[in-house]
Amino acid sequence: MSLHPQVRAFLDYVEIHNPMPAVPTLQEIREDVYTHIPYAGPDSQEVDVEHTYFTSPHGDLHTVIWRPKNVKPNAPALVYFHGGGWIFSFPLRYSAPLSNFAAETGFVVIAVNYHKAPEHQFPIPFDDCYATLLWVAKNAERFGIDSTKIGVGGDSAGGNLAAAVALKAADTGDVKLAYQMLIYPCINTDFETQSFHDHATGFGLDKTGMAGAWKLYIPDEHWENKYAVPGRATSFNNVAPAVIAIAQHDVLRDEGTAYAKALESAGIPVVFKEFEGMIHGFLLHGAMVDGAYALRTWLSEQIVKIAQ
């Protein structure tokens, strides 16, 4: 299937209304994110929002909690790690989809503003995310959640972090995750897959931009570390069941598909869906692309089935 007409219209609109320099600086990339917030659509009004902080091994981190207004005692939880190539973005950019998740699932959703590369390279962002999981599990009573029904999720670079956190949780036994929810995740560093060739430019996430983000995130000595590159994992003992969603027209399509197959081959339950006509980042395109809501609803349905 070719690009969905709404996606084509979105890309054309952004090209006109959000032009970027041919070679933007990191500061320009970070500032541009704010102009994209309205594209995600409205927040759900069926949730309450709380802001708080906790201290990871690397400093104090802002966290945002979306709690359904009619939340039940001992609700399941979603600990969410946002995308942005490990170098930009923040939880409130995701308020629309995360409030949707909370309203649709009845889960308490908790997102953290982890440290960013290149100022803070791996393992610092990963450590922040793992520390967030431990903090949530330790404070389950405070959050009104069931400590046996905690899952992790994320999109793009956040999907990388969620997959890595799921691997470490399985390795350590610190938290028995109920599920991992991976949305077009950055899983491997093979930039010669068919999806990278087919979508190198013009589809929102470019091949050169993705390769550059990896280099900013991972120091040379950590390229073989599975917590940096989950595609390096060779064992999936005790890893949480996975819900994986990918976009048809995305450089990351093939690595997301490969990771789903690797988990399945290891006996891990996997629910997988490729969204036709969609591009990278479409979770945040709800104001112009109906597929964003189809994705949010599908993900909500899948994690409810697993966690409840």
> pLDDT tens digits for 229-261?
999 999 999 999 999 999 999 999 999 999 999
Sign of torsion, CA 274 80 146 180? positive
CA distance 253 to 230: 15
Confidence of residue 308 (pLDDT cuts 50, 70, 90): confident
Per-residue H/E/C for 68-116: ECCCCCCEEEEEEECCCCCCCCCHHHHHHHHHHHHHHHCCEEEEECCCC
Domain definitions of the chain by residue range: 5-307
Mean pLDDT of 163-191: 98
5-307: CATH class: alpha beta
115-174 tens-digit pLDDT: 999 999 999 999 999 999 999 999 999 999 999 999 999 999 999 999 999 999 999 999
